[in-house]
């Protein structure tokens, strides 16, 4: 088990590095952090609320865990991101353990190390989203179901129970997709194996459905009873319409996930064309990982709504397959203790130049940063130079190791290099905070106008409620808060429809802060009268009446 522990330790270092040093990014992180904060602030744990109105787009497990983290660590960015990072480590441990049980020691530590250093996985590990917890629950369920098939025959063994519980917790994270993905993957694998006969009995499908229902169904039933219209909104809108209607949400091209995986798995994805699995004994676990990855990609490709994090459940299986191929090159025909002939340095030696080319590309992006239309390269320029330097140095070192036929050293250098580049990349998130987070602006409002009502014009800045610890008055379309606003008895006070409504509140009694884009401020300044800017971040401005007692503190 030392392989699992080593991979988990690496993952913890990468995922928790600088976790607390950047503000919550808009909109998702700030939204989920605020939902959990409102739970601890008295809105209750059964029905989630956002900006103090009902918000039921997702089941509550992420919010419950985040609220628990607030109770332990206090309300902060670190506490908000703690459980996604922790679950990401658990996913690495589960992947390494599965590889240990089905492939052997070398592939176990390499699978975990590759997963921990896959950018798509490592970046999402540091983001407060439902997707990481769902991916880990699906991964555990996948691996448990396979081990039940291999080890437990028709018994109600531990793997069967682990698989059921993982699917139930995944359902409480993001819905029935946590059941569909493992079931479809196992059906595909059994069909490939020619072993579908008797599957219902061997997997105790009815008993499994009962266990999952006992764990997951009570919250859904209670919410259907408690919240009018929940069934249609969640089960019809958030699932059926999201799957079948391109215009409903996040429509993308059919091929969307191919470049996502190719880029998100760098640099490991560049090695795939050079890998060989030749002269290896047949292993059904290899087929199973292929089935898991293929079913996951196919499922989300067929769905109309597509977002980058959706594909995350495919990544652990892909990490195992890449590790399997790299180990086959490093120790061809070798046992788990000794290679019978020299490593295939011709193939693994390609990794160094490929890593160097990526590093050179990153440095070139930093050099050309002033010429990009997007402001991101300029903001993160120092981090880009650091990432590029790490990749070039590591590429040279790994190439030297492979050419001198030291496969283990070369693989270790590869892993350490990519881990170092990812850790350097966290500084890019710190530098890019003004572009993706309004934490600084919100903190300034809380410091200079702690008693004021906060009004947000048009686009709802999710972080305002989290950092100011108060309900925000919104002007314009209700968007994602529309369902909850329709059930809110105070909607007329906190949801303003027009500029005329804004002026009525702005010129009324009491202290107020108005947050709006600089373009809107220029357009409305003649109607707003005298005002002072007390905070600014990127395109947003926070203004107050100059005569108010808090202005200029």
- Which structure tokens are listed for 360? 């050179």
pLDDT at position 248, please?
A: 53
Nearest CA to 128 out of 212, 28, 223, 242 is that of 28
- Quick one: pLDDT at residue 547? 62
Tokens (6 digits) for 370: 């002033």
pLDDT digits (tens, 9 = 90+) for 40-84: 999 999 999 999 999 999 999 999 999 999 999 999 999 999 999
Tokens of 206: 């009815």
Residues sharing a CB contact under 8 Å with residue 43, sequence separation 6 or more, in sequence order: 49, 52
First to last CA, the chain: 58
The two tokens of residue 265 are 């798995």
Would you say 439 and 461 are in contact if contact means Cβ atoms under 8 Å apart?
Answer: no
Report the Cα 266 to chain-centroid distance in Å: 17
Q: Are 113 and 10 in contact (CB under 8 A)?
A: yes
pLDDT tens-digit readout, 200-242:
999 999 999 999 999 999 999 999 999 998 888 887 766 655 5
Give 439-474 as a DSSP string. Answer: HHHHHHHHHH-TTSEEEEESS--THHHHHHTSPEEE
User: Residue 339: its pLDDT value, please?
Assistant: 46
Among candidate residues 241, 124, 238, 227, the one with its CA nearest the CA of residue 175:
238
The span from the CA of 109 to the CA of 100, in Å, is 8
Which residues, including other chains, have CB under 8 Å from residue 428's CB and lie 6 or more apart?
380, 383, 384, 387
Q: What is the pLDDT of residue 233?
A: 81
Q: Using omega within 30 degrees of 0 as the cis cutoff, is the peptide bond preceding 27 cis?
A: yes
- Helix extents (H) in 368-490: 376-379, 381-403, 407-431, 433-436, 439-448, 463-468, 482-486
**With contact defined as beta carbons under 8 Å apart, do 473 and 42 qualify?**
no
Determine the pLDDT at residue 342.
45
- Residue numbers of the chain with a pLDDT score lower than 50: 335, 337-343, 345, 551-553
**Angstrom distance (rounded) from CA 391 to CA 418:** 7
What integer pLDDT is reported at residue 152 of this predicted model? 77
In terms of Cα–Cα distance, which of 109, 122, 88, 192 is closest to 426? 122
């Amino acid at each position: 088990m030392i392989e699992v522990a080593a991979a988990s330790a690496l993952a913890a270092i990468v995922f928790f590095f600088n976790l607390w040093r950047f503000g919550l990014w808009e909109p998702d992180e700030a939204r989920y952090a605020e939902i959990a904060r409102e739970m601890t602030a008295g809105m209750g744990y059964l029905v989630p609320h956002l900006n103090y109105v009902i918000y039921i787009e997702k089941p509550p497990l992420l919010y419950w865990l985040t609220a628990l983290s607030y109770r332990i660590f206090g309300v902060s960015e670190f506490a908000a991101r703690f459980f996604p990072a922790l679950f990401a480590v658990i996913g690495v441990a589960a992947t390494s353990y599965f590889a240990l049980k089905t492939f052997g020691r070398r592939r176990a530590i390499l699978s975990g190390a590759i997963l921990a250093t896959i950018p798509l996985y490592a970046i999402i590990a540091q983001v407060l989203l439902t997707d990481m917890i769902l991916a880990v629950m699906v991964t555990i369920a996948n691996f448990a179901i396979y081990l039940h098939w291999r080890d437990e025959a028709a018994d109600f063994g531990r793997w069967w129970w682990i698989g059921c519980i993982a699917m139930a917790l995944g359902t409480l994270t993001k819905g029935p997709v946590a059941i569909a993905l493992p079931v479809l993957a196992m059906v595909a694998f059994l069909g490939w194996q020619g072993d579908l006969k008797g599957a219902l009995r061997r997997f105790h499908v009815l008993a499994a459905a009962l266990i999952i229902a006992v764990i997951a169904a009570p919250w859904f039933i209670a919410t259907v009873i408690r919240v009018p219209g929940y069934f249609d909104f969640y089960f019809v809108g958030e699932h059926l319409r999201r799957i079948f209607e391109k215009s409903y949400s996040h429509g993308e091209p059919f091929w969307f996930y191919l470049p996502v995986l190719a880029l998100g798995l760098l640099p490991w994805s560049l090695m795939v064309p050079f890998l060989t699995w030749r002269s290896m004994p047949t292993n059904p676990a290899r087929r199973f990982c292929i089935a898991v990855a293929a079913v996951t990609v196919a499922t989300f490709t067929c769905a109309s709504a597509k977002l980058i994090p959706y594909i995350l459940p495919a990544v652990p299986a892909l990490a195992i397959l890449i590790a399997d191929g790299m180990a086959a090159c490093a120790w061809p025909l070798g046992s788990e203790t000794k290679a019978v002939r020299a490593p295939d340095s011709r193939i693994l030696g390609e990794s160094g130049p490929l890593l160097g080319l990526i590093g050179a590309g990153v440095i070139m992006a930093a050099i050309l940063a002033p010429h990009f239309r997007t402001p991101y390269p300029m903001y993160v320029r120092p981090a880009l130079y650091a990432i590029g330097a790490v990749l070039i140095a590591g590429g040279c070192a790994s190439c030297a190791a492979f050419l001198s036929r030291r496969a283990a050293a070369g693989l270790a250098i590869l892993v350490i290099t990519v881990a170092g580049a990812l850790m350097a990349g966290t500084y890019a998130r710190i530098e890019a905070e003004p572009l993706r987070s309004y934490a600084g602006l919100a903190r300034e409002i809380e410091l200079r106008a702690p008693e004021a009502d906060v009004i947000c014009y048009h686009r709802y800045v999710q972080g305002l409620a989290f950092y100011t610890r108060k309900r925000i008055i919104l002007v314009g379309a209700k968007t994602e808060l529309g369902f909850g606003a329709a059930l809110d008895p105070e909607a007329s006070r906190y949801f303003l429809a027009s500029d005329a409504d804004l002026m009525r509140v702005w010129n009324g009694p009491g202290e107020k802060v108005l947050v709006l884009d600089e373009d809107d401020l220029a357009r409305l300044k003649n109607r707003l009268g005298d005002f002072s800017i007390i905070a600014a971040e990127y395109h947003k401005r926070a203004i107050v009446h100059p005569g108010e007692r808090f202005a200029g503190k």
